[in-house]
Amino acid sequence: MRFPGTPSHRLVDDGDEHDLAAWMLELIDQSPDRLAFITIPRPIDTDDELDAIEERTLAAYDLAKAERPDLAVKVIPPIPELPGSGDTALVVVLHEHRWVGGRCVNGCRDTGPVDDSAEAA
C-alpha cells in the first residue's frame, strides 16, 4: 500500500501548542498533496497520558486551523503499512483541502463547498 503525502513525522513533546501548530503547517507546506502523517510514539504508560497528548495535539490543530480554515485532521489507530509507524500509539493525519467546484484538488475524495457567487452574478 502506498501512502500519499510526506513520510510520517514523529511527534516531539516539547514546545507549546503554538510551536506545534506552526510545525504542523510547515509539514503541510512541504507536501505536494498537502497531506502529513504525524505519529505519536509509544511507550505511553497510561490512557490519561495518551489523552493528554491527544488533547495537546488537537489544541495545536485548532490554532493551525484558525490560520488555514481548509485544514482537516483525523486521529486514527496505528497503520502497520505506514513507514515509520512501527511503535506508534496513534497517527494524526493532517490535510489541507483546496476546493474547486466542490471537490478537493489536493488528492482526496472529500467534497466540499461550491462557490455559486460567480454563477449568480
The CATH number of residue 26's host domain is: 3.30.110.20
- Kindly give, in sequence order, each residue whose CB lies less than 8 Å from that of residue 58, ignoring residues fewer than 6 positions away: 73, 75
116 within domain boundaries? yes
Phi-psi region of 54 (alpha: psi -120 to 50; beta: other; left: phi over 0): alpha
Q: Residue 72 belongs to what domain range?
A: 9-120
pTM of the model: 0.78
Of 73, 79, 63, the C-alpha closest to 34 is 73
2 within domain boundaries? no
| Confidence at residue 121, expressed as pLDDT on a 0 to 100 scale | 37
In the structure, what pLDDT confidence band is assigned to residue 68 with cuts at 50, 70 and 90? very high
4 within domain boundaries? no
Q: What percent of the chain has pLDDT over 70?
A: 83
CA 64 → CA 13, 19, 69, 86, 88, distances in Å?
17, 10, 8, 27, 23
Instruction: Yes or no: say if 64 and 24 are a contact pair by the CB < 8 Å rule.
Output: yes
Return d(Cα 7, Cα 118) in angstroms, integer: 38
Instruction: Yes or no: say if 77 and 91 are a contact pair by the CB < 8 Å rule.
Output: yes
101-116 pLDDT, tens digit each: 888 887 777 777 776 5
